[in-house]
Chain A
Amino acid sequence: MKKRRGIKKNANMNGWLFSTPAMVLIGIFMVYPILWSFWMSFHKTRGGKSEFTGFDNITRLFGDPVFLKALSNTVLFFSIQVPIMLFFAIIIASVLNKQQLWGRSFFRTAIFLPIVTSLVAYSILFKSMFSIDGVVNNFLLDIYVISEPLPWLTDPFLAKTLIIIAITWRWMGYNMIFYLSAMQNIDPSIYEAARIDGISRWRQLISITIPMLKPVILFTSITSTIGTMQLFDEVVNITAGGPSNSTLTLSMYIYNLTFKFMPNIGYASTVSYVIVFLVVIFALLQFRFAKEEK
């Protein structure tokens, strides 16, 4: 009995020994900063001095047209881009999920390949491809989809579209791999039975595959949404937030507030808490949604 307690105590000691370095680092570089920026969001900080201003920063948000623009852009980006991307990812995964498909691993690797590019590198590639006389416009003119070159980088609507196209290109294959692997865990006899009953492939996708993929769909939509909410690299490197802030995101606005304009760290922290708020609300909503459907 005594010895057993000794082992238990020993295990507890080892537990602390193994996990302490990570906990200390996370405490310093994660917990402390997030609490600190919470504190700062109620202060006005200029030139090293901070002064408690209560809810001033929060009221300021509602009267700040640039913030409202960045917020609506960010919401627009994730609410449009994430569903489009996941839709294509599911379709492609279900097409690739045929064992007898010729060249299956080639297609899979090719579609997955964009994941190797750095966000900055691919952004620059897209910027050069979508220039006004660039290769994409040339191609679209050649196949008569458009009759004059589209100003991808200078038109607010097209610039947003371009950002959505770019992110979808980079992350679609990544999400596709999750679906593909989940689909391979579905018992093939279910499809066999469906086929015998004369159920179309499209119907099979809607009523068998998608319901069985629900946990993975939830996972990918949460990670993609959180990623898109923090969108920064692409907008900085493709459009620099322009034209006239039409692709400015919250992350980019925070960066500008802190490092480009006259630094107002307190207000920037308040804006950053808007992202925290969005992420938390959104994750909760999705969990709720997934639970109810069950």
Chain B
Amino acid sequence: MKMLMNKKNLSTIFTYLFLLLATLISIFPFYWMLVGATNESVDIILGKATIGNALMNNVQKFFEQVDVPLIFWNSAKISIISTVLTLLISSVAGYGFEMFRSRAREVIYNGMLLSLMIPFAALMIPLFITMAKFGIVNTHAAVIIPTIASAFIIFYFRQSTKAFPSELRDAAKVDGLKEWQIFIFIYVPVMKSTFAAALIIVFMATWNSYLWPLIVLQSNEVKTITLVISSLASGYSPDFGVIMVGTILATIPTIIIFFLMQRQFVQGMLGSVK
């Protein structure tokens, strides 16, 4: 009996050690980012993992090298507009596909799901040429427009709409509400948590997106914070202290959203598999 206890204790200790190690590995880069912002680049390269006194200097240099308010605003503007438009277009479509079924639309919908498998690399060249033809290369519109109809988000809304109680819709119809009124005044409030989850997914994706903005945004005054920190880090001797300040700024919005809406975030992720 005693031996059994010992064996159990040992396995518990082992479990916690394992989890602790996994946690340390997951969190260390965040610590590294925060501490790095207080150190000089030389010290970062040499692996100094304790707090230094170069924070003010790094912040100051970052604000000198980069027009921070403008760049931050560019990122925010692109992400907010993309998110709002994507939610609008995709929720309406998800509702439409689920509520009014027809054979023709089912075929289109299934084709759309297939398009989820298309890698972006196969789209970027024609998309770039299209943007050039529209004459909007190097504008934020070029970043936003191709992303607003997302097959994945439409799929997500359609899946979630299956849980929307049809009695509500029937009752509203009896009351003489039109379909668009049902959508705005009943569907949207009832599906709040679905919208919240989709909002997080889309916002994080657009805030963090890199390849497409890299292609269409070329001059400094339109670039996003992701592009800016990437170009700061790509030289031969990048100033890591300054870059850490940038990565912190780039991570703050997503980390805030994550901690405020963790439950919806996880629900949203999982909701798409059901």
Query: Is A211 interfacial (CB-CB < 8 Å)?
Result: no
A190 → B minimal CB distance (Å) = 21
Of the stretches B55-63, B66-74, B266-274, the one at the interface is: B266-274
Q: Do B93 and A22 have beta carbons less than 8 Å apart?
A: yes
Given the complex, which residues of B lie within 8 Å of A139, measured CB to CB?
Answer: 47
A237 to B210, CA, bound (A): 11
Q: Do A118 and B44 have beta carbons less than 8 Å apart?
A: no
Given the complex, which residues of B lie within 8 Å of A72, measured CB to CB?
Answer: none
Q: In this complex, what residue of B is CB-closest to A128?
A: B240
Given the complex, which residues of A lie within 8 Å of B23, measured CB to CB?
Answer: 106-107, 110-111
Query: Chain A: interface secondary structure?
Result: helix
A240 to B230, CA, bound (A): 11
Q: Do B96 and A17 have beta carbons less than 8 Å apart?
A: yes
B271 → A minimal CB distance (Å) = 10
Could you write out 19 A-B pairs with CB less than 8 Å apart? Answer: A14-B100, A15-B101, A18-B100, A22-B90, A23-B93, A26-B112, A29-B146, A34-B115, A37-B125, A110-B26, A121-B226, A139-B47, A169-B29, A178-B273, A237-B233, A251-B121, A265-B129, A269-B125, A272-B119
Query: Is B120 interfacial (CB-CB < 8 Å)?
Result: yes
Task: Give B residues with C-beta under 8 Å from A.
Answer: 15, 18-19, 22-23, 25-27, 29-30, 32-33, 36, 44-49, 89-90, 92-93, 95-97, 99-102, 105, 108, 112, 115, 117-130, 145-146, 148-149, 151, 154, 179, 183, 204, 207-208, 210-211, 215, 226, 229-230, 233-234, 240, 243-244, 247, 250-251, 254-255, 258, 262, 266, 269-270, 273
Query: Is A31 interfacial (CB-CB < 8 Å)?
Result: yes
Q: Do B126 and A128 have beta carbons less than 8 Å apart?
A: no
Q: In this complex, what residue of A is CB-closest to B100?
A: A15
Task: Give A residues with C-beta under 8 Å from B.
Answer: 11-12, 14-19, 21-26, 28-34, 36-37, 40, 92, 95-96, 101, 103, 106-107, 109-122, 124-129, 131, 133-139, 169, 173-174, 177-178, 181, 216, 219, 226, 229-230, 232-233, 236-237, 240, 250-251, 254-255, 258-259, 265, 268-269, 272-273, 275-276, 279-280, 283
* Complex A-B, nearest 3 residue pairs according to Cβ-Cβ distance, in ascending order: A18-B96, A15-B100, A25-B149
With contacts A22-B149, A37-B123 known, is A128 near B118, CB below 8 A? no
Given the complex, which residues of B lie within 8 Å of A17, measured CB to CB?
Answer: 96
Give the number of A-B contacts (CB < 8 Å).
256
Q: Do B273 and A107 have beta carbons less than 8 Å apart?
A: no
Given the complex, which residues of A lie within 8 Å of B30, measured CB to CB?
Answer: 113
Q: Do B27 and A272 have beta carbons less than 8 Å apart?
A: no
B261 → A minimal CB distance (Å) = 11
With contacts A17-B96, A181-B270 known, is A120 near B125, CB below 8 A? no
A51 → B minimal CB distance (Å) = 17
Q: Do B251 and A29 have beta carbons less than 8 Å apart?
A: no
A37 to B208, CA, bound (A): 26
**Given A16-B105, A33-B123, A124-B233, 5 other A-B residues pairs in contact with their CB atoms under 8 A:** A18-B183, A111-B22, A113-B27, A120-B230, A233-B211
Given the complex, which residues of B lie within 8 Å of A26, measured CB to CB?
Answer: 112, 115, 149, 151
A23 to B92, CA, bound (A): 11
B266 → A minimal CB distance (Å) = 6
With contacts A26-B112, A26-B115, A114-B29 known, is A131 near B124, CB below 8 A? no
With contacts A19-B96, A95-B19, A124-B243 known, is A119 near B121, CB below 8 A? no
Given the complex, which residues of A lie within 8 Å of B262, measured CB to CB?
Answer: 109
With contacts A110-B23, A111-B26 known, is A19 near B119, CB below 8 A? no
A255 to B95, CA, bound (A): 37
Q: Do B115 and A31 have beta carbons less than 8 Å apart?
A: yes
Q: Do A135 and B47 have beta carbons less than 8 Å apart?
A: yes
A178 to B191, CA, bound (A): 22
Given the complex, which residues of A lie within 8 Å of B121, measured CB to CB?
Answer: 230, 232, 250-251, 254-255, 272, 275
B245 → A minimal CB distance (Å) = 12
* Residue among B92, B128, B273 making CB contact with A18, cutoff 8 Å: B92
A50 → B minimal CB distance (Å) = 11
A275 to B125, CA, bound (A): 14
Q: Do B122 and A95 have beta carbons less than 8 Å apart?
A: no
Q: Which of B29, B124, B128 counts the most chain A CB atoms within 10 A?
A: B29
Q: Do A128 and B44 have beta carbons less than 8 Å apart?
A: yes
Q: Do A120 and B208 have beta carbons less than 8 Å apart?
A: yes
* Residue among A111, A120, A283 making CB contact with B117, cutoff 8 Å: A283
